[in-house]
Structure 1
């Protein structure tokens, strides 16, 4: 779901300051001021993400954009990107941070549902993480492939691949089974994806949890943008006035 926040100016106040300008110049100045304020609001959101999140990755920091105002529309928006060509848009996992509450299931959790019993996952002690604290994408791909859960069947480890691994001196059977589902004693509930890392030695890569992770509000985007707007409104209006007057006088 897209998040759109309209930034509005007190156009009556702005027009009073620009009373000597033409109607077109007033609208141009208003659009310029709106765009400056919206851009500042977006920067404030990014700065807040850096404050409240532990090493947010560039994709997350780039999860918002400014929809520019024009002299015809006089509306500028700080909007979330609700589409990502090669993955999940940041707003899908930022939503609970913005509004609080439970997050939606990840694509990988849906792919693992047949083995996890429809549970969620969190990184285990043996999970390989990137510099931002997230599970490395290649690790999830390997897990899904080894367990035969890739949507593209050709991406799963096939008998042909197993034979190739054997020729390279690798244990084909081991390559296909180093990831496995560990279960709780007694009730047999799936408790996570474990990996065989040595003779008799295993480590937890993913740990399953029946409840969706719940988050408190940490990124109140509406409030952040409005505060940034109020803090800079007067300066931005003055800058818009100077810009229009400078253009009228030819530079």
Structure 2
């Protein structure tokens, strides 16, 4: 997903008079300045992600990428990574953070709906009993156990015969017997729950709560950030690269 194109501002940087030697080196200076500016914007995004998001993954921190300017293409492009070797690409899961609005459904949410466990149009947010990893996401192992156990089960009163009472009691003691509540029942909101055994008897804790609203407010304004960095850095890098090119030309005997 291409987001920002870093090109030269003809009304600003190139609005002044240039000598013949400067004109001969303009293309190279513009190319180098675009690439240096794009690199710095990418680094700024990485630093900003650590402040904006709670425990961002390495993939999120490195989400901003850029395509370099070339002699034939005097602009650099900044974009969010649109592929991932394992999992969802940042361009997809960060879109709601950039623009605001309803987030995309996660893979396990789609599976919950396919299994008939979660009603259509709902999202699953972590409950108090969820096992979170260091990034604040529900651990993949717990999600896998939930999906494996639930099958097409809709709530705790259905399909009770698929596991013996003895095995179910053993599972409760070590934790990890999951069931779904699709409609509010007493104090239990719709969601996925874990039944456990305590010293005082059986208890339940929420792992996921179902909600119809999973909206994000825009909080990662990468467009404004890129514009600020452009305004701050591009003139500096352009002048620096032009001067370096002029010095190189003079060294080679050009005038």
TM range (shorter): 0.7 to 0.9
Q: Structure 1: state its 5+ residue gaps.
A: 150-158, 163-169
* 1:13-162 to 2 correspondences below 5 Å: 13-14=13-14, 19-21=19-21, 25-113=25-113, 114-118=116-120, 119-148=122-151
Aligned residue number for residue 236 of structure 2: 235
Equivalenced residues, count: 229
Select between 110-119 and 238-247 the one with higher mean Cα deviation: 238-247
- Helix, strand or coil: the match of 2:20? coil
Q: Normalising by structure 1, what TM-score?
A: 0.80
Alpha-carbon deviations, 1:112-171, whole Å to 9, x = none? 01211122010000111112211112221221122238xxxxxxxxx9xx9xxxxxxx94
* 1:174-193 to 2 correspondences below 5 Å: 178-185=177-184, 191-193=190-192
Q: In structure 2, what is the Cα distance between the partners aligned to 1:214 and 1:126?
A: 22
Aligned residue number for residue 223 of structure 2: 222
Aligned residue number for residue 5 of structure 2: 6
Task: Indicate the structure (1 or 2) with the bigger Cα radius of gyration.
Answer: 2
- Helix, strand or coil: the match of 2:190? strand
Q: In structure 1, what is the Cα distance between the partners aligned to 2:141 and 2:248?
A: 54
Distance 1:246 1:148, change over 3 A: farther
Distance 1:185 1:88, change over 3 A: closer
Distance 1:18 1:134, change over 3 A: farther
Alpha-carbon deviations, 1:159-209, whole Å to 9, x = none? 9xx9xxxxxxx947855971111344569x971111123251221111111
Aligned 8 A contact 1:41 1:226 in 2:
no
- The runs of at least 4 consecutive aligned structure 1 residues that moved more than 6 Å come to none
